[in-house]
Amino acid sequence: MTSRSNSLPLIGELMPEIAAATTVGPINLREHYQGKWILLFSHPADFTPVCTTEFVAFARKSYEFKNLNCELIALSIDQVFSHIKWVEWIKQNIGVDIEFPIIADELGEIAQSLGMIHYVKATNTVRAVFIIGPDYKLRLMMYYPQEIGRQVDEILRALKALQIAEQYSVSMPENWPNNELIGDKVILPPPNNIEEARERIKNTEGYDWWFTYKDLK
C-alpha cells in the first residue's frame, strides 16, 4: 500500500519522497539511505535551549544509531546558514560535533506534508519523530510539544524493539527489555486455531494461551 494523496502517511505506508537542502548538501532520503533505517526528527528552531539539549543528546548517541544501521537526519524551517552557525556554536560552546545532516525546509513544505506544523501552538515545527524502515515505510511516529524535550534513550529503545519485532515476528512488552511482568522476554503472536491454543500453554511459558512469551537467547 502506498501513501494516500493529501494525507499524512500512516504506519506501514510508504513515506513521501523527501528531497531537500541540508547542511551536507542536497539529499533525497530514499536514494541516499537505501537499505538503512532512517530516524527523521524535527525541531522548532535553531538557537533554542531545548533543541540544543536534544541535538547534543542525539549526537552523543549517534554511534548507537549507526550500530543499528540507522541514520539520523534533522529538520526545521530555518535556513541552511542558520543550521551551520548553530552547529558551530554547539561545537564551540559545548564541545559536541553535530555530524548528522539538518534539512533546511525554508518553505515548510516537508513539515506540512508530515504534520509537523501545529498552528494552535505556533507556525514552526513541533518535535516530531519518524522511524522509517529500509523499505522506506513508516514504522513509528511520535509528536512532542515544543516545551518538552525528547528522551533519546526511549527513541533508541523503540528502534531496537522494532528491529527485533520484525526479525523474530514477536511483540515487545511495556518498557522492554525491563518489563515488570516478563523482564526482557518477548511476546509470541497469538495462536491461529483451537488446537494450537491448547498446545501453546502446555509447551510455552506464559499466563494463558493468548499471553505467552520466550527468551530471545
Residue type, 196: E
**Same domain flag for 145 and 176:** no
Indicate if 137 and 45 belong to the same structural domain.
yes
Instruction: Please report the pLDDT score of residue 123 as a whole number.
Output: 67
In this prediction, residue 132 carries a pLDDT of: 98
Query: Does the annotation count 70 as an active-site position?
Result: no
One domain, residues 178 and 136: no
Highest mean pLDDT among 103-117, 123-137, 154-168, 193-207: 154-168
Pairing mode, strands 211-214 and 186-187: antiparallel
**Would you say 38 and 73 are in contact if contact means Cβ atoms under 8 Å apart?**
yes
pLDDT in tens, 33-57: 999 999 999 999 999 999 999 999 9
On the question of pLDDT at 5 being above 90, the answer is no
**Is 1 a member of any domain?**
no
Q: Is residue 160 part of a domain?
A: no
State the pairing for strand pair 186-187/70-76.
unpaired
CB burial of 85-123 (b: ≥16 within 10 Å; e: otherwise) equals ebbeebeeeeebebebbbbbbeeeebbebbbbbeeeeee
pLDDT of residue 146: 87
Query: Residues 142, 45: one domain?
Result: yes
Looking at the fold, whether 75 and 135 belong to one and the same domain comes out as yes
Per-residue model confidence (pLDDT) at position 120: 63
In the predicted structure, residue 151 carries a pLDDT above the cut 50: yes
47 and 108 co-located in one domain: yes
51 shares its domain with 142: yes
Q: How far is CA 109 from the centre of its chain?
A: 20
CATH number assigned to the domain comprising residue 213 = 3.30.1020.10
Confidence of residue 217 (pLDDT cuts 50, 70, 90): confident
The pLDDT tens digits for 91-150 are: 999 999 999 999 999 988 999 999 888 766 666 788 999 999 999 999 999 999 889 999
Q: Check pLDDT > 50 for residue 4.
A: no
DSSP state at residue 44: S
Catalytic residue among 29, 51, 59, 87: 51
Cell of 119: 498552528
Question: Which of 123, 150, 177 finishes a domain?
Answer: 150
> Which domain CATH number covers 53?
3.40.30.10
Domain membership flag for residue 48 = yes
Residue 137, in any domain of the structure: yes
180: containing domain: 169-217
Q: How many CB atoms sit inside 10 A of residue 23's CB?
A: 20
Residue 6 lies in a domain: no
Predicted pLDDT at 6? 47
| Domain count of the fold of the chain | 2
What average pLDDT does the chain have?
93
Residue 1, pLDDT > 70, answer: no
Residue 72 falls within a domain, yes or no? yes
Residue 200 lies in a domain: yes
125 and 178 in a common domain: no
On whether both 139 and 174 belong to a single domain, the answer is: no
Q: What value does the mean pLDDT take over residues 172-178? A: 97
User: Is the peptide bond prior to 177 cis by the omega test (within 30 degrees of 0)?
Assistant: yes
pLDDT at 8 over 90: no
Residues 128 and 206 in one domain: no
